Amino acid sequence: MTAIEESGIAAVAHRMFERNGVAGQVRLIRGNSRDVTLPEPVDVLVHEILGVDPLGESILPVIQDARRRFLRPGGIMIPGRLVLGCVGIDLPRSSPPEEVLSPQDSDLGAIYGIDLSAHRDALVAESREPAQRQFTSETLEPLLLTSELQVVELDFMQDHDLESFEVTRELLVQRSGTLRGVAVFFRARLDGQVELTNSPFTPSTHWGQFAVKLPRDLQVATGDRVGIRVSQKTTLGARRMSVELLS
């Protein structure tokens, strides 16, 4: 068995292997998988490159490279499929702009004693996209206005070109209110029955959900259908999901 890990958690993994008596059974490689070469292909490839934004850690380019170079013909991937979903919400109007745009800037700035406002300014200048904010299932639940919407299901055994990714869908309103944002989440299919998800309709995980504030508010009533356009955007080299109103 071979494990590949780029971050400092690799050292923790090594100690866990030792303390559980399997260090001799696992070959741990410290590095980026795209820079690693294996001596022979594998039958099963297990991966977890999932962020609060399902596309935020460049999951598709990494997985597609690993599949082509590491996986034996007829092998399997776990998870094998990824569902991108979203739900319409009523964002609190009182949220401070700094918190909505980049909740980590102030925390990291305080820790390291540096001014990170240039990062915030660059995001605004580069993307001109609505602000983002992170939630948990518990804090998001009172804000939900629509049912869960499946945007697209990606098969990791196939190549996907997200540079041209764009789909139009409709949100079904379940509760009247003011639609001010959309929360985005994922459902990772581990097999035919088991899934890993940060859906706001399930108990909270360490991921939480991120919400995109829409450029304008929309009054909605139960039963309304609201058209949206979902695409991938690249901002300062980082991939993320983007949601726009059609009406």
Matching residue, tokens 């690249």? 234
CB atoms within 10 A of CB 234: 15
Structural contact between residues 2 and 69, judged by C-beta atoms closer than 8 angstroms? no
pLDDT at 221: 97
| Cα 94 from Cα 87, distance rounded (Å) | 21
pLDDT at 169: 94
pLDDT at 102: 46
CA dist list (Å): 183 to 39, 111, 117, 242, 245:
42, 29, 25, 11, 13
pLDDT at 190: 92
Q: Rounded to two decimals, what is the model's pTM?
A: 0.76
Q: Strands 2-5 and 27-30, how do they pair?
A: parallel
CA dist list (Å): 246 to 153, 170, 228, 229:
22, 9, 5, 7
Cβ contacts of 22 within 8 Å, gap of 6 or more: none
CA dist list (Å): 139 to 50, 51, 88, 96, 98:
21, 19, 14, 16, 19
pLDDT at 237: 60
Structural contact between residues 33 and 2, judged by C-beta atoms closer than 8 angstroms? no
pLDDT at 208: 85
Q: How far is CA 223 from the centre of its chain?
A: 28
- Conformation bin of residue 141: beta by default, left when phi > 0, alpha when psi is -120 to 50: alpha
List the chain residues with pLDDT less than 70: 93-112, 116, 119-132, 162-164, 234-239
